[in-house]
């Protein structure tokens, strides 16, 4: 099924161990058990999907509600996104050609649809505003992280750029703001073994063979004016510094965990050291972790490509 209004169709498979059922019962169950469900996604909306031919098999053939569904069979349909809190920041466009778009992602905007964040995502927003249904990010940034994000615009080139990130062939630079610790030294490489259990919010550093590597490239103390600007948002703070980080790997929450483990959790972090509730989220107080640069050899042209964002104290329009 094609992308519709910026949204990709959901693909759901009846488990192999499930008894045979009907397409209507299966899709109805999926909708009814959604954690974040639109209040209007009711029985009438389910019937409308089928009458409009919007529930199909892998060959695009429409199901009827009474169509038998066998274990292991796939169903494709469009979900109705639940209402979301708007993210009040624009997406900056740093570069665009026929194949690529490089965005400056604001904080609090998820990269791709997932969980309760569907329409308030960079992917859906850009597909809608630019009318580019094939736009897909080549990598991800955490929802609360901002900065440089590379997207592909055509299906034909998507795999080549995604492979760059999968094979760690992209040089990444980040800037984090945290308390200034003079004992930390530029040039240090943090080596850790990180694990994150699916469903749990925090990751952890455990004993074992390292799988996460981050170069602490530089530490730049903030000026008095910058410090005052931060305190106006976050309240009284000890002296702060910009930490220039270059990760060699891309573990989930790698930079946030490494900074926390080094004794300097990133300013505005809502997970480390303490998990904040959804009600505590304040979009005027961002996580100060920014993807400031990407560099790589273009897999199609062979040219050296570098993309950066200007240095700013606050990102996302704050």
pLDDT digits 0-9 by tens, 253-275: 999 999 999 999 999 999 999 99
Which residues are 110's β-sheet partners? 121
Residue pair 91/125 in contact by the 8 Å Cβ criterion? yes
pTM (predicted TM-score): 0.91
Alpha carbon distances (Å) from 246 to 34, 101, 198: 38, 22, 26
Distance in angstroms (rounded) separating the CA atoms of residues 303 and 261: 37
3-state secondary structure 289-302: EEEEEEEEECCCCC
Mark out the alpha helices in the chain (DSSP H runs). Answer: 23-32, 43-51, 122-130, 155-166, 224-234, 254-261
Sign, CA dihedral 260-226-293-269, equals positive
Model pLDDT, residue 317: 45
Model pLDDT, residue 316: 52
Residue pair 137/112 in contact by the 8 Å Cβ criterion? yes
Distance in angstroms (rounded) separating the CA atoms of residues 289 and 268: 9
- Residue 242, sorted as left (phi over 0), alpha (psi -120 to 50) or beta, turns out to be beta
Q: What CATH number is given for 92-308 in this structure?
A: 3.30.2350.10
Model pLDDT, residue 107: 96
Distance in angstroms (rounded) separating the CA atoms of residues 190 and 307: 25
Structure-block tokens of residue 259: 């900074």
The length of the chain in residues reads 318
| Domain spans of the chain, in order of start | 10-77, 92-308
Model pLDDT, residue 125: 98
Q: Is it true that the peptide bond before 46 is cis, omega within 30 degrees of 0?
A: no
CA 125 from chain centre, in angstroms, equals: 13
Distance in angstroms (rounded) separating the CA atoms of residues 35 and 213: 35
Model pLDDT, residue 199: 85
Coil, helix or strand for 136? strand
Domain 10-77 falls under CATH 3.10.290: yes
Coil, helix or strand for 81? coil
Residues of the chain with pLDDT under 50: 317-318
């Amino acid at each position: 099924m094609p992308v519709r209004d910026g949204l990709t169709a959901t693909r759901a498979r009846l488990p192999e161990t499930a008894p045979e059922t009907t397409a209507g019962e299966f899709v109805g169950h999926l909708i009814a058990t959604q954690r974040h469900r639109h209040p209007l996604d009711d029985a009438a909306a389910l019937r409308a999907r089928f009458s409009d031919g919007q529930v199909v098999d892998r060959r695009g053939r429409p199901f009827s509600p009474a169509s038998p569904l066998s274990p292991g069979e796939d169903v494709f349909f469009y979900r109705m996104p639940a209402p979301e809190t708007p993210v009040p920041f624009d997406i900056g466009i740093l570069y665009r050609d026929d194949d690529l778009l490089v965005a400056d992602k604001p904080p609090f905007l998820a990269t791709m649809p997932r969980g309760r964040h569907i329409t308030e995502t960079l992917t859906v927003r850009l597909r809608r505003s630019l009318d580019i249904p094939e736009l897909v990010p080549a990598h991800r940034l955490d929802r609360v992280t901002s900065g440089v994000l590379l997207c592909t615009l055509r299906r034909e080139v998507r795999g080549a750029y995604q492979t760059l990130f999968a094979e760690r062939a992209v040089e990444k630079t980040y800037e984090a703001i945290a308390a200034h610790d003079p004992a930390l030294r530029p040039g240090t490489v943090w080596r850790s073994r990180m694990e994150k259990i699916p469903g749990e919010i925090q990751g952890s550093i455990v004993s074992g063979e390292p799988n996460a590597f981050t170069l602490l490239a530089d530490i730049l103390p903030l000026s008095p004016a910058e410090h005052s600007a931060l305190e106006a948002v976050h309240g009284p703070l000890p002296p702060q510094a910009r930490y220039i980080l270059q990760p060699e790997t891309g573990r989930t929450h790698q930079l946030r965990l490494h900074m926390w483990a080094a004794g300097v959790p990133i300013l505005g972090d809502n997970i480390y050291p303490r998990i904040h509730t959804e009600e505590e989220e304040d979009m005027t107080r961002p996580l100060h972790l920014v993807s400031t640069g990407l560099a790589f050899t273009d897999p199609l042209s062979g040219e050296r490509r570098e993309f950066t964002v200007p240095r700013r104290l606050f990102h996302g329009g704050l």
